Amino acid sequence: MPHGPLHFLPFHALKSGDEYLCDSFTVSYAPSGTVFSLCQQKAPSEAPGSLVLGIADERAPQILDEVRSVSSLLPRASLHLGEQATSSLLREKGVESGLLHIATHGMYRQDNPMFSGIRLGDGYLNLYDLYQMKLNARLVTLSGCATGMNFVAAGDELLGLQRGLFCAGATTLLLSLWDVHDESTAQLMGHFYRHYMQSANMPGALQQAMRELRENKPHPFYWAPFVLVGKLTDSKGFD
């Protein structure tokens, strides 16, 4: 559980000699002791379906390849692109989706974190919207720019998309700490879900995905931005 500015540090990318921390350990994060406890107590969702949303533009054209690849790996995936990937669709299908993957741009408002959001096909979905939404996902992935950024308020309380997603009902989140590289993100997500479908172990799957991406893109900028937040393990198998 990081404190203060350490919430923005990828501990898994710290080095010990010639190795990174993630070479020896799987690393997950908790925004607070309370959230950690609540996430561990919550049973993994039994919802069988997967919902995949992709909103591409000229800045991130690889999103289309990413979500098509992800949807081919996930069980009972429902894929929606562009203007079809709306907030109303998320409200309708989110409650019945055990896995939720949204590939889009995030917007972090440091001046007012409550209005931080992610872009969907019909506009931005912000923290207020998430408070009114019901999700039933054991994993929510926001594959976009700075979707894990937060404002650290008094008492080390975090205000950002993490808080909204946990309030909506998510158990574990996969988010980014900085503006991500379009192509390498698509590759990392493919590696992650392939390993996750085989092992049902999120931290181990992310560790392996980072290792594989580092073979061609060794700089931490490419492989280190994504963090797992919330429940540490998921023993549920896949059909």
Distance, in Å, from the CA atom of 42 to the CA atom of 231, rounded to the nearest integer, reads 8
The domain in which residue 176 lies consists of 28-229
Q: Give the per-residue pLDDT at 121.
A: 93
Task: Give the CA distances from residue 29 to residues 2, 32, 33, 66, 161, in Å, rounded to whole numbers and listed in that order.
Answer: 8, 9, 10, 25, 15
Q: Helix (H, G, I), strand (E, B), or coil: what is residue 48?
A: coil
Strand partners, 16: 19
Q: Is residue 205 included in any domain, yes or no?
A: yes
Q: What is the pLDDT along the chain (239 residues), one digit of tens a residue?
A: 454 555 567 878 888 888 898 898 888 777 666 666 666 667 767 888 999 999 988 777 888 999 999 999 999 999 999 999 999 999 999 999 999 999 988 776 667 666 778 889 999 888 888 889 999 999 999 887 655 444 333 333 334 678 888 889 899 999 888 778 888 999 999 999 999 999 999 999 999 999 999 999 999 999 998 999 887 654 444 44
Q: Is residue 187 included in any domain, yes or no?
A: yes
CATH (domain of 43): 3.40.50.1460
Query: How many domains does the chain contain in total?
Result: 1
Q: Is residue 237 included in any domain, yes or no?
A: no
Q: Between β-strands 19-20 and 15-16, what pairing exists: parallel, antiparallel or unpaired?
A: antiparallel
Q: Give the per-residue pLDDT at 99.
A: 96
Distance, in Å, from the CA atom of 100 to the CA atom of 90, rounded to the nearest integer, reads 9
Give the position of tokens 């991130």.
60
Q: Is residue 172 included in any domain, yes or no?
A: yes
H/E stretch holding 152 reads strand 150-152
Q: Give the per-residue pLDDT at 179.
A: 77
Q: Is residue 7 included in any domain, yes or no?
A: no
Q: Is residue 20 included in any domain, yes or no?
A: no
Q: Is residue 5 included in any domain, yes or no?
A: no
Q: Give the per-residue pLDDT at 105.
A: 81
Q: Give the per-residue pLDDT at 49.
A: 92
What phi, psi does 180 have (nearest 5°)?
Answer: -95, 160
Q: Give the per-residue pLDDT at 34.
A: 63
80 CB-contact burial (10 Å; exposed 0-12 / middle 13-18 / buried 19+)? buried
Q: Is residue 45 included in any domain, yes or no?
A: yes
| Number of CB atoms found within 10 A of residue 37's CB | 11
**Residue 46 corresponds to which tokens in the numbers above?**
């039994």
